[in-house]
Structure 1
Amino acid sequence: MHFFLFFLRCILELLILFSLCFCLRFVHHLQNLPQEPELSLARILETGVLPVVTRNTLHTYYIYDEKETGFEYELVKTLADKLDLRLEIQMADTMEEMEEALTQGRAAIAIPGSPALPAESLRTTRPYMYMELELVVHRSKMQIRSPKDIAGMRIHVPTGSDSYTLLRHLQADGLDIELVEESLCGEALFSKVASRIIEGTVIPGHMARRYQRYYPQALPAFALGRPAPFVWLVHPEAHRLHYTINRFLDQILANGTFETLYNHHYRNLDLFDYVDLMRFHQRLESRLPRYQHLFEKYADLHGFDWRLIAAQSYQESHFNPWARSHANARGLMQLMPRTARSLGVTNVHDPEQSIEAGVRYLKNLHNIFYQAEEPHRTYKALGSYNVGQGHMYDARALARRFGLDPNRWYNMEKMLPLLEKKEYYKDATYGYCRGSEPVTYVKRILLYYDIIRHKSLLESRTLPPE
């Protein structure tokens, strides 16, 4: 009996000892579990602020007309609005600074705005787009078409970029180039190529084609490697935030929101005519200053950006008050005689009368399409200025017939050209029209508008100096 009690006591002591060891190991395990970062999703929702760190570039974030904008900014602003959060933007010049902001808890999301290799300690979201990296050279080197043509070339790339990694791999494979890292954004390097300060650079293709508008003396030569992914970065332990961002990206890619934002910034990049753009840049210096005060005066009166009106005027008349079209439209804003009379214009060649009436007429058209959201509303008003509102009504009816949203300008781009075909215009209320013309008209206005806006940004120094 005594032996049995002794044995039972030993078993109980062993069980207690084992339980104590297990508890100590469990506490140690809990202490070493990964902790949610200081800026976890719960903390962000509690404070009502979403802090984001990014670069001050045309693609990511900049101030225009006292408003925050940029493709990446509008993407993350859409996320913040969806979560009912106030967006707080911080600036960084390098990947290292962005990574530091994440690890120190000063930012919840880092947006590089270009393909880049983050530190292994950070976590990337799902890619939301892929872009080929392209070599950019001066126009005098248009004969460069493949890697074998760049032997001995000195190529400058942004520090820590995917371009650098790609070119290092190509060097290792035998490509004879000199590679230089610079703490500059892609646009600054592009402008250096245009000015022949450097021989070449490598940046994402869509950015190269946009920068080509501003610096026509440089051009993308050919693509290098496979398309590179664009991602955002978060703290490695921000699990809920990471999941939330990925779900958001899935949703906007599926519902068309991403497409709308991308098209707003990068649509029609292939619309490039070197001679026309060089002439346009020259006339921004020689002709625009004569009329800029009038564009500013009447655009402000009717709630438009004066640069948009200036772009429209250039498309209409090349800033020539004596311009006359084959259809007898005249003046800076190319008013038809009947339209000019209805607007009270007594001299269509008078710059002020033409601009005042043209902007007022555009505003009337803008009011008609009140059901469309911006920028579609403005695009439809511009298209109607060219082709007439009646034909725009016919295009809207066609869109409904095809099950498309008639309030989206991108659908009008598809429908208007159909009104050149008898099978479609024979049943239209306003009949035949040269439907391709307003589509090209709006595209060219937006091209000129983008260039004038960029010029203003550089002058106001809200983008980094070149």
Structure 2
Amino acid sequence: MPASRKTLRFLAIWLVTASFALVAIVLNSSKDNSDNLQRIRDSGVLRVLTRNGSTTYYESQGAPAGFEYQLALAFANHLDVELEIIPVVSLDDVFSGLVNNQADIAAAALSITPARQETLLFGPSYLSVKQYFIYNRDVNSPMSSIEDLIGKQIRVISNTAHAEQLKTLQNEHPELTWMESRDLETIDLLEQLADGQIDATIVNSTEYYANRAFYPSFRIAFSAGKPRKIAWAMAASPANASLIKEMTIFFKGITENGKLARLIDRNFTLNERQTFISTHTFLQMKEERLPEVKGIIEQVAIEYDLDWRLLAAISYQESHWDAEARSPTGVRGMMMLTRSTARELQVDDRLDPLQSLRGGARYYKKLYSRIPAGIEAPDRSWFALAAYNIGLGHVEDARVITQKLGGNPNLWNDVKENLPLLRQQKWYKPSKYGYARGDEAARYVRNIRDYYSLLTWDELNRYRVPPPRIVSDYLPAELNRGFDAL
């Protein structure tokens, strides 16, 4: 039966309406995807993919840190938008995240390589790194050439510039062999090298210098190939043209005003919290600096019911009793408070030593009160100090790991052995709070215990015997008695 005129009119109207709707959708979609920079500004958020690591992104004193994080935050501020960090585990996750539009950029210490340029766009390079073959001198004989690597156990991460470099070297040295792993990170390779499971690996120069304090037996064999340029990556889309242009303006600005150079120097020349001063230096500074601040340290210790020697030890570890101290991550003052922590503790001026000491004392006491009830003194203090350094969440992750491995999560001696595992993907990936420089937290607590012991010994035996040689947790028992009251 033929359609009525009314029905035909209805269909015609519907088709026209549907056509306009389709055109509107296409145009809006085109508008949304035509300029990612404008979309970022409209949304007010810059989404950044990165990896957990000492040179990229991690948490310190409960606040985000890392070279790539600091750069990304500066760029977000430049755009006047909020920063959303999206940490992932592997390089494959970084690349797939960009392709699937999970983020706007990837700031993950990525080398610019021909293979990657086939599928990704890169912004301006802000860092040049060398690729080092490294070995453990405690396990292997010195290595200084490719020939020394023939027949050795070499492992690198797959889908990296290091794997590409090995393939290039193999063209000239066919007998060169190696293993590639997709489920490992740099820290895993460093641990395998330290344990003697492998003979050599390749790391970027930045990674080597950021981690060398933790692996004093590692040595550089030689550089592999030419230096590689590091840059942020984006999906290969014309919509990112204006974003790359704005990046170029940003990096030109921080290069000219010296901010980039300062960030590089602070993160890779002298890594934060790796100033492991000798006992001799501590005793010297105790005589020179401590008298100037001892009065206010004692005052604050009385106010917050703390042993003044503990507060003195913490403030020395944090700043060497320097009221104007500054770290690469922006923490400042005698107790090295972050800006957000200072606000939370109602500290208006982080450079005022009295305010800083009061804020640090409040923060320590707050953490101490939040340590699980089953943890007794003096271990309770060690856990609180570790939390002061890397955050309570990471300390709890280490306790969970300790329990899984059969240790006692309420004993510091057990947990401190597992804190370094928070740097290894195998352990931090399933943890609630992720990657952390747990070995630094363990060293942080050990240093404070040593300084406290020296101050205690000095008070009790100033005119009788010289200070003891520091041997960390194996100090004479009488030096640790003062902690029982904490």
Determine which of 250, 253, 256 is the counterpart of 1:254.
256
Other structure's SS at 1:46 match = helix
Query: Does structure 1 conserve the Cα–Cα contact (< 8 Å) formed by 2:48 and 2:106?
Result: yes
Render the CA deviation track for 1:181-234: whole Å, top value 9, x for unaligned: 112222221121011011111011221133221122322221111101111111
- For the structure 1 residues 182 and 341, does the alpha-carbon distance in structure 2 shift closer, same or farther, using more than 3 Å as the test? closer
Q: Which amino acid aligns with 1:136?
A: I
Corresponding residue for 2:199? 199
Corresponding residue for 2:12? none
Shift of 1:462: 5.5
Q: Which amino acid aligns with 2:104?
A: A
Corresponding residue for 1:94? 90
Aligned counterparts of 1:120 and 1:344: Cα–Cα separation in 2: 59
Render the CA deviation track for 1:89-125: whole Å, top value 9, x for unaligned: 1123333322222222221101231426425121111
Corresponding residue for 1:134? 132
Other structure's SS at 2:142 match = coil
| Corresponding position: 1:49 with 2:45 | yes
Shift of 1:176: 2.5
Determine which of 274, 279, 286 is the counterpart of 1:317.
279
Aligned counterparts of 1:378 and 1:79: Cα–Cα separation in 2: 20
What runs of 5+ residues in structure 2 fail to find an aligned partner? 1-25, 299-305, 336-350, 352-385, 399-417, 427-486
Shift of 1:83: 0.8
Show the 5 A alignment for 1:234-313. Answer: 234-236=234-236, 237=238, 238-268=240-270
Shift of 1:178: 1.3
Asked which structure has the greater RCO (Cα within 8 Å, sep 6+), the reply is 2
Other structure's SS at 1:219 match = strand
- For the structure 1 residues 138 and 343, does the alpha-carbon distance in structure 2 shift closer, same or farther, using more than 3 Å as the test? same
Query: Does structure 2 conserve the Cα–Cα contact (< 8 Å) formed by 1:335 and 1:354?
Result: no
Query: Does structure 2 conserve the Cα–Cα contact (< 8 Å) formed by 1:116 and 1:160?
Result: no
Show the 5 A alignment for 1:36-115. Answer: 37=33, 40-115=36-111
Other structure's SS at 1:244 match = helix
- For the structure 1 residues 45 and 150, does the alpha-carbon distance in structure 2 shift closer, same or farther, using more than 3 Å as the test? same
Query: Does structure 2 conserve the Cα–Cα contact (< 8 Å) formed by 1:156 and 1:182?
Result: yes
Aligned counterparts of 1:173 and 1:335: Cα–Cα separation in 2: 59
Show the 5 A alignment for 1:147-162. Answer: 147-162=146-161
Aligned counterparts of 2:293 and 2:105: Cα–Cα separation in 1: 53
Show the 5 A alignment for 1:27-38. Answer: 37=33
Return the index of the structure with the highest Cα Rg.
Answer: 1
Other structure's SS at 1:172 match = helix
Shift of 1:156: 0.8
Query: Does structure 1 conserve the Cα–Cα contact (< 8 Å) formed by 2:104 and 2:234?
Result: yes
Shift of 1:42: 0.9
What runs of 5+ residues in structure 1 fail to find an aligned partner? 1-29, 270-306, 346-350, 383-406, 408-448
Other structure's SS at 1:63 match = strand
TM-score of the aligned structures, taking structure 2 as reference length: 0.55
Query: Does structure 2 conserve the Cα–Cα contact (< 8 Å) formed by 1:366 and 1:377?
Result: no
- For the structure 1 residues 353 and 171, does the alpha-carbon distance in structure 2 shift closer, same or farther, using more than 3 Å as the test? same
Query: Does structure 2 conserve the Cα–Cα contact (< 8 Å) formed by 1:134 and 1:224?
Result: yes
Q: Which amino acid aligns with 1:256?
A: G
Query: Does structure 2 conserve the Cα–Cα contact (< 8 Å) formed by 1:62 and 1:462?
Result: no
Aligned counterparts of 1:106 and 1:366: Cα–Cα separation in 2: 43
Query: Does structure 2 conserve the Cα–Cα contact (< 8 Å) formed by 1:317 and 1:334?
Result: no
Query: Does structure 1 conserve the Cα–Cα contact (< 8 Å) formed by 2:289 and 2:321?
Result: no
| Corresponding position: 1:459 with 2:410 | no
Corresponding residue for 1:123? 121
Aligned counterparts of 2:330 and 2:38: Cα–Cα separation in 1: 38
Aligned counterparts of 2:311 and 2:61: Cα–Cα separation in 1: 22
Aligned counterparts of 1:161 and 1:379: Cα–Cα separation in 2: 37
Aligned counterparts of 1:316 and 1:64: Cα–Cα separation in 2: 24
Q: Which amino acid aligns with 1:264?
A: R
Query: Does structure 2 conserve the Cα–Cα contact (< 8 Å) formed by 1:134 and 1:205?
Result: yes
Other structure's SS at 2:64 match = strand
Show the 5 A alignment for 1:431-446. Answer: none
Aligned counterparts of 1:154 and 1:363: Cα–Cα separation in 2: 42
- For the structure 1 residues 87 and 198, does the alpha-carbon distance in structure 2 shift closer, same or farther, using more than 3 Å as the test? same
Corresponding residue for 1:171? 170
Render the CA deviation track for 1:352-409: whole Å, top value 9, x for unaligned: 4444456679989755x5xx97659989979xxxxxxxxxxxxxxxxxxxxxxxx9xx
Query: Does structure 1 conserve the Cα–Cα contact (< 8 Å) formed by 2:154 and 2:177?
Result: yes
| Corresponding position: 1:187 with 2:187 | yes
CA RMSD of superposed structures (Å): 4.1
Corresponding residue for 2:143? 144
Q: Which amino acid aligns with 1:97?
A: D
Percent sequence identity over aligned pairs: 21
Aligned counterparts of 2:44 and 2:261: Cα–Cα separation in 1: 28
Render the CA deviation track for 1:308-336: whole Å, top value 9, x for unaligned: 6xx77x626379xxx855xxx7xxx4567
Aligned counterparts of 2:32 and 2:328: Cα–Cα separation in 1: 40
Corresponding residue for 2:20? none
Aligned counterparts of 2:422 and 2:35: Cα–Cα separation in 1: 29
Aligned counterparts of 1:161 and 1:464: Cα–Cα separation in 2: 18
Query: Does structure 2 conserve the Cα–Cα contact (< 8 Å) formed by 1:343 and 1:357?
Result: no
Shift of 1:340: 8.1
Other structure's SS at 2:125 match = coil
Query: Does structure 1 conserve the Cα–Cα contact (< 8 Å) formed by 2:72 and 2:107?
Result: no
Q: Which amino acid aligns with 1:160?
A: N
Shift of 1:235: 2.3
Corresponding residue for 2:233? 233
Aligned counterparts of 1:248 and 1:337: Cα–Cα separation in 2: 43
TM-score of the aligned structures, taking structure 1 as reference length: 0.57
Aligned counterparts of 1:215 and 1:196: Cα–Cα separation in 2: 13
Q: Which amino acid aligns with 1:317?
A: T
Query: Does structure 2 conserve the Cα–Cα contact (< 8 Å) formed by 1:335 and 1:358?
Result: no
Aligned length in residues? 312
